[in-house]
Amino acid sequence: MPHALDVSLSLAWLLACGTLGLVLLLILSLLLLRWVRWRREPQLQAFQARWRRLLMRCALGDDVQNELPLLQSRERWPFMKLWLHCQMSLHGPARDRLARLAQTLDCGPMALSRLNSLYAAERLMAILALGFLKDASAQPAVLEQMRSGGSQTVVYAARALLEIDARAHADEVVQTLLQRQNLDLSLVSVLHKPFRAQLQQVLLSQAPAASSSDDQILPWLRLARALTLQLPAQMLAPFLTDQRSTDVLIAAIRLFQGESGRGMVAAHARHEDWRVRAQVAQALGQIGMPNDADVLVHMTTDLQWWVRYRAAQALLRIPGLGPQRVRSLISTTQDRYAANMLAAVMAEEGTAA
């Protein structure tokens, strides 16, 4: 028995020492990494200051070819990051000048080699760089990334292909974006902003028919919203029937713009799913007119908090109503939840009654 106790104590002691040793090792590694970073910081800053200025001068049209310092191999990737930052900040002829500069510095092969990097951030940057370099020979590699990459890679590769040749790739990009599930649509919206016009044109030509299934309609509506496609109310009408799924209804309501579709949107104010009702209230806040006040006042008495909240917001946003009129309209409901919600929204928006 005492022997077993001795073994347990020794084991506990060993474990404690081992844990302490590992913690010390971790702290030392962190300190070492900080020290390395601290040592490199001045070099990095000097590098950035030198190259930033050159890139900016190049972007504005100066001939900097004869002033380019030798780019060492360990500097190539930091340069690429800086160059991409510059590309993403500017548009117009400045971007073509920057592309020519990077071609001179032979950045294409480096970007191609990083397509297989273990780090996702590096792969995505390499894809974008190939696009901004406008190197047609990189198209097969980027196409492959778009066809087989993950949900973010697809969006980056699509942007790169559009940069290389928007006319040639717009169709395939739209097809791919429509087919991919779990697409990061906010990323699509941001990254494809410069090519919205071309993509919108293709998307419009592929609009689903009224007889299409919800599985076909939903990705189309979501992509249309990400690309800020403006559609006439009549085109959206077939997607607003009661037979459609909740997701399709919500996606279609989000696309309504202008007052002509108000009636179609308001028709779903009593939909059984509260998410549709909340979306109706939100949409009426953007496209509604004083005639829609009755619908919205009724919605402020909804059982769901979100519906009441959106309806109160919408009432205050409708042109021509004003806080006083809204308050008197709400008082007719004699619903204290509606009155409370209106007071909360008015306080939130700093609206004087």
Partner 1 sequence: MNPSMPPNNKPDMQEKQQHILVIEDDDFMGTLLQFVLERQHMQVTRVSDGRSAQAWIDQNPAADAVVLDLMLPQLSGMDVLTHLRQHPAWAHQPVLVLSALDTGGDIARAFQAGASDYLTKPFNPEELMARLRHGLTQSQGVERAARA
Nearer to partner 1 by Cβ, of 317 and 327: the residue is: 317
The reply on whether position 93 binds partner 1 by CB under 8 A is yes
Task: Give 225's Cβ-side CA count (13 Å radius).
Answer: 18
- Alpha-carbon distance values, 60 to 52, 53, 64, 70 (Å): 12, 11, 11, 22
Which residue in the set 40, 50, 193, 270 belongs to the binding site for partner 1 (CB under 8 A)? 193
Which residue in the set 6, 41, 62, 106 belongs to the binding site for partner 1 (CB under 8 A)? 62
Cβ-contact 299, 307 below 8 angstroms: yes
Stretch of 17-25, 37-45, 188-196, 215-223 contacting partner 1, by CB under 8 A: 188-196
Segment 254 to 283, residues that bind partner 1, using CB under 8 A = none
- Buried-exposed string 221-246: b where 16+ CB fall within 10 A, e elsewhere: bbbbbbbebebebeebeebbeeebee
Nearer to partner 1 by Cβ, of 59 and 330: the residue is: 59
Nearer to partner 1 by Cβ, of 144 and 348: the residue is: 348
Stretch of 65-73, 127-135, 177-185, 190-198 contacting partner 1, by CB under 8 A: 190-198
Stretch of 28-36, 52-60, 139-147, 170-178 contacting partner 1, by CB under 8 A: 52-60
Q: Residue 258 and residue 247: Cα distance in Å, rounded?
A: 22
In the chain, how long is the greatest CA-to-CA distance? 89
Q: How many positions of this chain bind partner 1 (CB under 8 A)?
A: 22
Q: Residue 317 and residue 111: Cα distance in Å, rounded?
A: 49
Which residue in the set 61, 109, 263, 290 belongs to the binding site for partner 1 (CB under 8 A)? 61
Task: Give 275's Cβ-side CA count (13 Å radius).
Answer: 9
Residue 226's Cα: distance from chain center in Å? 8
The reply on whether position 86 binds partner 1 by CB under 8 A is yes
CA geometry: angle 188, 189, 194, nearest 5 deg: 100
> Which secondary-structure segment (H or E) carries 344?
helix 336-349
The reply on whether position 197 binds partner 1 by CB under 8 A is no
The reply on whether position 59 binds partner 1 by CB under 8 A is yes
Which residue in the set 54, 94, 138, 345 belongs to the binding site for partner 1 (CB under 8 A)? 94
| 88 Cβ neighbours under 8 A, 6+ residues apart | none
The reply on whether position 147 binds partner 1 by CB under 8 A is no
What residue ranges bind partner 1 (CB under 8 A)? Answer: 52-53, 56, 59-62, 85-86, 88-94, 97, 190, 193-194, 228, 286
